[in-house]
Amino acid sequence: MTVVFSNPLPIPVLGFCAYSGTGKTTLLKQLIPALNQRGIRLAVIKHAHHNFDVDIPGKDSFEMRKAGAKQVLVASHVRWALMTEDPVEDDPKLQHLLRQIEADKVDIVLVEGFKKLALPKIELHRAAHNKPLIHVHDENIVAIACCEDTQVPDSLTRLDLNNVAQIADFVERYKNNWQAPKAQLPICFNDADIPQPTGSEQGISVSQGISTVLSQVAPTRETELVDLIDIDNRVLAHDIISEINVPQQTNSAMDGYAFAFDNLSKTPLKVVAEVLAGHHYPNVLQSGEAVRIMTGATVPQGADTIQARELTQEQDNLLTLLEPEQITQGQHVRLAGEDIAQGEVALAAGSRLGAAELGLMASLGFNRLPIFKRPIVAVFSTGDEVSQPGEELKPNCIYDANRYTILSMAKKLGCQVIDLGIIDDNEQTLTSTLSDAATKADIVISSGGVSVGNADYIKMALANVGSTHFWRINMRPGRPLAVGKIDQSLFFGLPGNPVAVMVSFMQFVQPAIRKLAGETQWQPQFIPAIAAQPLRSKTGRTEFLRGVYSIADNGQIQVETTGAQGSGMLNSMVNANCLIVIADDTATIPAGESVFIQPFADLL
């Protein structure tokens, strides 16, 4: 059985595998100088089956390790070696070993051993040794180095085991042709490429679901002019062209002195004036002159360089510049228009207006902006067991959580929300609720009643008022999902389980709201993180685990789950700061491997 290998390095890795006695080491000893001659810098990882040692008894480094140091790093001006006592149960992990290689120092890593790993390998074979061929069971063999008496299938490159130059040519070609694999995102969808979901019984992928939802959403065209102070996370409707330069004048970034760089040799310079922020020096600075200047003050004509006050001495209006050799022309000068030039598009239509964007617009002098109308989202819950918080909890019932999570997330996305409350689970009430909601809202969202339960009247109600698809999405949580149209409104029937509601909202409703709101950057963001524990899923479905990401001591982003993952356990969301997304072609992610996460701090 081969174990899946993913290369953590930005350089190629090539293995050499053979039964012992075939001559791997002999070949590598000849191959390494041959590759060096071609200018290829090599790292070699060798798998040893015995308890080896690289140090010499009696040497200080040996004695310190034997005294109990878990790691000893011995270094001289020509070489360093890190020795680590790291007893592991099975073989050492190649991924971990590869991460120790300094990829900027070498061009390729040659790996000897690790026969079972699915890394590209050259198999060495001598028919005379009567050993079986490895490539028969290992599709990762890319070439076979052998003698004339070995049969090699046409699909593999045949190399002459005794022709080192030929093998070196192959390795060089392999290195030159190797391309770092592109990160494969767990969910890839394309708004223009709409798949056709096939009936309600068959499951569709998350990507298909998102694409299909988005195909039904047209960005709003309705705009309004709103005071900057009242804009909260709304979407800009037109490109905003700057009418001014920012900064307006070339000004100083430091409290200090302004002078011409060419005058450095003429020190001490004569201080002819002091320029405060909001003021300017009316004359052109002459040769040998400087002005005292404050941060933000306009740099006078004739000056092009600023020295910070703490690196100067001034006495009797004569200025001495300290550390003159460190001064560079133009230092600490903020050029007019360097942030935004007059006539430039300062912010493009479709931008979401957060704090930074609002500050930028204010810095350009705008006090009102054209923005898209807010999407209106109406939300209700269904189910006889669902009770209103604040009221007494009847036996066998639960309080309504979903309406509050949905309303909150919709508000965070800048929507105007309508709370329709808990609607009785009967066809007539649901029908009138849906048709009424569609007259008021762009998007109507319900939760519960989309699976196969007997009391799921929502399906019948929907059939009365609009067109709806009931999908099984190949994901967990959030498998059942209803999506449809009631007149011009989009309808989402989210599953009842509270975590499934939130995950489905994030994946399907969120992009729909953002596209409808006119936002251009609504694609979900994925960040790679290192799994701090083994993660499990099932192939054929996308798994959304609730996770906590943090910065590990080594500076990498790591992620672990929040523990129990029941789709009714809202605590798993409360304790999480991201979703861990395991793609539908992956069953397990071992600890230490990379996995994608979707941070959701901006939504919850």
Task: Tell me the window of 258-266, 271-279, 321-329, 451-459 that interacts with ligand LQZAQKY5 (CB under 6 A).
Answer: 451-459
For the chain, the 3-state helix, strand and coil shares in percent, each to the nearest 5, are: 20, 30, 50
Q: With binding defined as CB under 6 A, does residue 386 bind ligand LQZAQKY5? A: yes
CA distance 135 to 139: 6
Query: Cβ–Cβ contacts within 10 Å for residue 215, how many?
Result: 13
Q: With binding defined as CB under 6 A, does residue 456 bind ligand LQZAQKY5? A: yes
Report which of 90, 84, 86 is spatially closest to residue 3, judged by C-alpha positions: 90
CA distance 309 to 319: 10
Angle at 410 between CA 409 and CA 411, to 5 degrees: 90
Are 374 and 222 in contact by the 8 Å Cβ rule? The answer is: no
Classified as helix, coil or strand, 173 is helix
* Type and span of the H or E element at 535: strand 535-536
Interface residue with ligand LQZAQKY5 among 157, 223, 416, 451 (CB under 6 A) is 451
Residue type, 474: N
Q: With binding defined as CB under 6 A, does residue 400 bind ligand LQZAQKY5? A: yes
How many chain residues are in contact with ligand LQZAQKY5, going by CB under 6 A? 26
Classified as helix, coil or strand, 30 is helix
Q: With binding defined as CB under 6 A, does residue 567 bind ligand MOO? A: yes
Torsion angle, alpha carbons of 546, 551, 553, 558, to 10:
40
Task: Tell me the window of 109-117, 118-126, 408-416, 447-455 that interacts with ligand LQZAQKY5 (CB under 6 A).
Answer: 447-455
Distance of CA 375 to the CA centre of its chain: 28
Locus of tokens 């190399």: 159
Q: Which of ligand MOO, ligand LQZAQKY5, none does residue 453 bind to, with CB < 5 to 8 Å depending on kind?
A: ligand LQZAQKY5
Interface residue with ligand LQZAQKY5 among 337, 480, 524, 547 (CB under 6 A) is 480
Q: How far is the CB of 231 from ligand MOO (least distance, A)?
A: 36
Q: How far is the CB of 399 from ligand LQZAQKY5 (least distance, A)?
A: 7
Report which of 464, 546, 451 is spatially closest to residue 494, judged by C-alpha positions: 451
Q: What DSSP string runs through 390-416?
A: TS---TT-EE--HHHHHHHHHHHTT-E
For the segment 135-174, give every residue that binds ligand MOO (CB under 6 A).
none
Residues 6+ apart with CB under 8 A from 303: 258, 259, 260, 285, 290, 291
Q: Which of ligand LQZAQKY5, ligand MOO, none does residue 197 bind to, with CB < 5 to 8 Å depending on kind?
A: none
Interface residue with ligand LQZAQKY5 among 209, 495, 511, 518 (CB under 6 A) is 495
Q: Which of ligand MOO, ligand LQZAQKY5, none does residue 381 bind to, with CB < 5 to 8 Å depending on kind?
A: ligand LQZAQKY5
Locus of tokens 């790691």: 71
Q: How far is the CB of 420 from ligand LQZAQKY5 (least distance, A)?
A: 12
Residues 6+ apart with CB under 8 A from 173: none
For the segment 448-507, give every residue that binds ligand MOO (CB under 6 A).
476-479, 495, 497, 500
Q: How far is the CB of 537 from ligand LQZAQKY5 (least distance, A)?
A: 15
Q: With binding defined as CB under 6 A, does residue 124 bind ligand LQZAQKY5? A: no
Classified as helix, coil or strand, 322 is coil
For the segment 141-200, give every residue that binds ligand LQZAQKY5 (CB under 6 A).
none
Report which of 194, 492, 216, 242 is spatially closest to residue 363, judged by C-alpha positions: 242
Which residue has the closest beta carbon to ligand LQZAQKY5? 496
Output 217 or 481, the one with its CB closest to ligand LQZAQKY5: 481
Q: Which of ligand MOO, ligand LQZAQKY5, none does residue 67 bind to, with CB < 5 to 8 Å depending on kind?
A: none
Distance of CA 115 to the CA centre of its chain: 33
Tokens of 486: 């009631």
Q: How far is the CB of 415 from ligand MOO (least distance, A)?
A: 23
Interface residue with ligand LQZAQKY5 among 361, 450, 529, 531 (CB under 6 A) is 450
Interface residue with ligand LQZAQKY5 among 119, 168, 401, 589 (CB under 6 A) is 401
Output 456 or 519, the one with its CB closest to ligand LQZAQKY5: 456
Task: Tell me the window of 36-44, 273-281, 348-356, 446-454 that interacts with ligand LQZAQKY5 (CB under 6 A).
Answer: 446-454
DSSP class of residue 105 equals T
Q: How far is the CB of 431 from ligand LQZAQKY5 (least distance, A)?
A: 18
Q: How far is the CB of 567 from ligand MOO (least distance, A)?
A: 3
Q: How far is the CB of 200 from ligand LQZAQKY5 (least distance, A)?
A: 12
Compute the half-sphere exposure of residue 436: CA atoms within 13 Å on the CB side of its CA: 12
Q: With binding defined as CB under 6 A, does residue 560 bind ligand LQZAQKY5? A: no
Interface residue with ligand LQZAQKY5 among 91, 172, 385, 593 (CB under 6 A) is 385
Distance of CA 445 to the CA centre of its chain: 29
Cα distance between the two ends of the chain? 44
Q: What counts of helices (H) and strands (E) characterise the chain?
A: 12, 39
Residues 6+ apart with CB under 8 A from 78: none
Q: With binding defined as CB under 6 A, does residue 434 bind ligand LQZAQKY5? A: no
Output 155 or 396, the one with its CB closest to ligand LQZAQKY5: 396
Interface residue with ligand LQZAQKY5 among 496, 511, 518, 524 (CB under 6 A) is 496
For the segment 398-427, give every residue that binds ligand MOO (CB under 6 A).
none
Q: How far is the CB of 506 from ligand MOO (least distance, A)?
A: 13
Taking only Cα atoms into account, the Rg of the chain, rounded to an integer number of angstroms, comes to 34
Q: Which of ligand MOO, ligand LQZAQKY5, none does residue 346 bind to, with CB < 5 to 8 Å depending on kind?
A: none
Q: How far is the CB of 421 from ligand MOO (least distance, A)?
A: 23
CA distance 152 to 73: 45
CA distance 151 to 351: 62
Q: What DSSP string runs through 417-476?
A: EEEEEEEPSSHHHHHHHHHHHHHH-SEEEEES--SS-TT-THHHHHHHHSEEEEEEESEE
Output 166 or 451, the one with its CB closest to ligand LQZAQKY5: 451
Are 251 and 301 in contact by the 8 Å Cβ rule? The answer is: no
Q: Which residues bind ligand MOO (CB under 6 A)?
A: 476-479, 495, 497, 500, 567
Residues that bind ligand LQZAQKY5 (CB under 6 A): 381, 383, 385-386, 398, 400-403, 447-453, 456, 479-480, 495-498, 500, 567-568
